A and B are shown apart, each in its own frame.
Chain A
Amino acid sequence: MNCELAQERIVTAAYGELPDEQAHELERHLAGCANCQAEREQLRALKLLADAYPVAEPDANLVARSRLRLEEALDALPPMRWYERLSQHMMNNFASLQAAPVAALLLLVAGAGVGSLSGFELAQNRAAHAAAAQAAKVQAQPAAAPAEGATIANISSIVRQPNSQMVEVRYNQVVPQRIAGSLNDPAIRQLLMLASENSASAGVRDDSVGLLAAECRAGHGCQATGIRDALMVALRYDRNAGVRQKALEGLEPYVAQDVRVRDAVLEALLNDADPRIRTAAINILEPVEADTSVRQVLHTVAYSDRNPNIRTVSRQVLSRVPEIQ
């Protein structure tokens, strides 16, 4: 054994990690090497000196302060987005959803699952539960194989465990799912709202907004937050005019009672690219024609809208309703 190796082993031994047979070899070397004996002494001195900076127990105040601050931060975290809660709800209650009662109006929603990320988390959780059962016995856990019928969206990382053949690959999956239920089922409604903003297909958005709008016109549970919001978002941002049209129709019953709906319709009147939608907006605004802000918008439209028909109709509406005193 040369001195360089011996000096490394001195450190290992000083920290109790030298295997017994190597420790024996080391002793033999040290017996004949004054240099290395000195090294060992030096290391012992270092260890003693290092303990002049002892590990302090955190005082009770520090612990309490830290914990309080953490609790406050956790309390302040925004609640999970509704589709995250939904995917968890579905994961936990898969069986009960399958058994959901079938009402007069059935809806089948097929297509991409609730976002590829949730699919990944679902797959992960399933793998976690499966792996946990065997965690004690086997050290290297094979991860769950990709779910059947699922497409792999992307690979996010590849990590090779040092000194082994084991590789961990993280990937995101899109898992097609389907659910059947009545329009009254909150899970179905939530999916429809998600579809209205999130679907790549205009046809799907059209269907979902159409259904939500029908619910609103019929007065079935069209609360301010939730479906009404989804319709307003569709009206403002959807690229497809047919979808925006349906959203507008769904909002019609609320234009008088809900100022936000009224404003959303006014925005559509001013900004929508499609003249049919702007025309429909004017008609829908009839119950609130006398409102000052509505009249202001109608004035603007009467003079500056590109479409002559719309300018005419606006002027007609303005002349029909007398100024408010």
Chain B
Amino acid sequence: MRPLALIALLALAGCAAQPAGTPSVTVFAAASLTDVFTELETGFEAAHPGTDIVLSFGGSAALASQIRQGAPADVFAAADERVMEQVVDAGDVRTPVIFTSNSLEIAVPPGNPAGIDELADLTDPGIAVALCDPQVPCGALAHLLFETFELTPAPDTLEPDVKAVLTKVELGEVDAGLVYVTDVHAAGPAVEGVLIPEAQSLITLYPIGVLTDAPNPAAAQAWIDYVLSPLGQKALADHGFVAF
């Protein structure tokens, strides 16, 4: 996450040095949007010649704190409503809209060596389990999920972001991890997903909005419109998101 932020800063520094010839739109987006936004970037730039989309991915909370510190972004797409609320309260985004949603799924190493088939398996201390820390959105959602179904999970590690959980599953270092449906999707054959019927009722909503101080608000709005368009929604669905 931090190297990404650094790259984003370097990219921004490069943009600032450019003459204002090519309008560029800097999009701060939750890490879970990496694949789909990268794909949409190509389509958008083809449809809007001369507009350059600069994508910067990271944890929603980390991106929000960069925005609070005055990072010159145009658009913020968060994986968590509460994070967006904080940004709105600080006056950095005015009217965010919900553009998609996501839910949790159990990721297991290929072959499911520990034979995980339901949420309750994650309460077994004999099974190595990775969850997100409750202080980050995916962990807060996981916490809520266990609480709602009156289960007490037995995690071996509480990771700082969802990709770290996924990595531990991919390496086979845990028997199960709770991640977003889209993460299982993005990981391809590296992990297997075990659907949690209970989790369908607990979705996390993704808000997106133009920053108050966006250097390029018109093009920023065009990007948001593109994400909300049927084309954008189809791409999101292709990556496991639930169109909203």
A joins B in a complex: no
Binding site for B on A (CB under 8 A): none
